[in-house]
Amino acid sequence: MNASKMRWAMAALMIGASSAASVQAEVPAQIEAELTRMGRIVDPACTAKLYRPLMPANDINSGAEPLYPGVAIARDVSFGPDAKDVVDIFSGGRGGDARTVLIYVPGGSGEKIEIQDKEANAFYDNIGRWATKNGMVGVIMQRHFSPGWEDGAKDIARMIQFVQSNIGKYHGNADRIVIWAHSAGNVPLGTYVGRPELWGPKGVGVKGIIFMSPAAFDVAPLSVEMPAPQEFLKMFMLAGKTCSAGGPAATDGALPGKAAGQPGGPSKGPMGPPPAAPPQDAATQLARSSLPALQASTAKIMLANGELDIGIDPAHGEVQPFVQALHDELCKSGSAHCPTLLIAKGHSHMSIVFSIDTPDTSVSAPILAWIKQLE
């Protein structure tokens, strides 16, 4: 077992030893069986049906006030010129006046509220709510599609600098920010981390970075074999088949009164995998690579994926090829730059984030332990 795996194992062990007996430290057997049956696909709607019963009764469509007792939510706080340049900020009664700030960058088309199905509307409030329960301020970012290769990274830069300037109003510590991206959200985050010219006066601006189930971003000259385009498409197009829910283009969970292009409104374009970037020559790939900045990063990094995640060939292990390759390459830069590697047993591409703030703490417990030990 390498050093990063050992650190994770010890953190998980400490959490398990100190948690109450009622806390579920692994994926519930019935849910894991359903996730296995669904297979290695991207299925927000059907995964939501498995985890929604473990959530509070209220979600964003509920008329309750407050929505979640003890949690204050500032919705759709603007940080930029686009209608979708907004964040939801969650704060609670725990943590004092200088709390760690947890920013979540969603995957898919960037919706901070999943809209394929009504039951999916509970996500990603779950991450903001979990942050407050653990003495942090939660910031959930809304993303919009940007065609330029670094446009999304510029949005991340703008958002981080907005948070740094304003999070004190919500008892957050601007010098202790952790940013966590899932799936397609890793592309703008990975690009941001690799472009020092986009950083603000405080440098990269974060203490910790979680790349979870990441879509591959440019780390040339490192080369990672990716699934064939038809296999990649199938991972999305099978969504909804196992539970008779809407497929990847469904917007059954669009919020009432929201127009297309607004946060929580129906999509302006097709849902599903992001458009493939046109191929670049080797010189351009090197010029755009995030690898040098990652190798020199002062921020601690966690790389994570589910055992049942997309792109994994179980005959060759439980780690996504991009995750394994980036982990191994960064470890060559020394132990200070070697990422923590989290393999979430029994979890799929969506359950790894849908499980947060439920009795299934198999993902949230090691992440919390990792955040707490950041310098």
CA 15 remoteness from chain centre: 21
Asked if 215 contacts 184 with a C-beta cutoff of 8 angstroms, the reply is: yes
> Does 223 score more than 50 pLDDT?
yes
Q: What percentage of the chain carries pLDDT values higher than 90?
A: 70
Peptide bond just before 321 cis, omega within 30 deg: no
Lowest mean pLDDT among 16-30, 61-75, 161-175, 310-324: 16-30
Domains parsed from the chain with CATH numbers: 3-12+42-276+293-372 (3.40.50.1820)
DSSP letters of 14-38? HHHHHS-TTSB-S--HHHHHHHHHH
Report the DSSP beta bridge partners of residue 180. 104, 210
Task: Give burial (CB, 10 Å; 0-12/13-18/19+) of 334.
Answer: exposed
pLDDT (0 to 100) of residue 276 = 60
Render pLDDT for 64-94 as a digit per residue (tens, 0 to 9): 989 999 999 999 999 999 999 999 999 998 8
Cα–Cα dist 41/309, whole Å: 7
More confident residue, 236 or 307: 307
User: In the structure, what pLDDT confidence band is assigned to residue 8 with cuts at 50, 70 and 90?
Assistant: very low
More confident residue, 255 or 140: 140
Render pLDDT for 252-304 as a digit per residue (tens, 0 to 9): 888 888 888 888 888 765 455 555 667 788 999 999 999 999 999 999 999 99
Task: Say how many CA atoms lie within 13 Å of 54 toward its Cβ.
Answer: 22
130, two tokens: 């979990």
Asked if 9 contacts 16 with a C-beta cutoff of 8 angstroms, the reply is: no
Has this prediction a pTM greater than 0.75? yes
Render pLDDT for 111-132 as a digit per residue (tens, 0 to 9): 999 988 889 999 999 999 999 9
Instruction: List the Cα angle 246/138/363 in 5-degree steps.
Output: 65
Render pLDDT for 17-36 as a digit per residue (tens, 0 to 9): 333 333 446 899 999 999 99
Lowest mean pLDDT among 9-13, 90-94, 105-109, 292-296: 9-13
pLDDT (0 to 100) of residue 353 = 98
Lowest mean pLDDT among 15-24, 134-143, 227-236, 323-332: 15-24
Asked if 303 contacts 263 with a C-beta cutoff of 8 angstroms, the reply is: no
> Does 16 score more than 80 pLDDT?
no
Residue type, 229: P
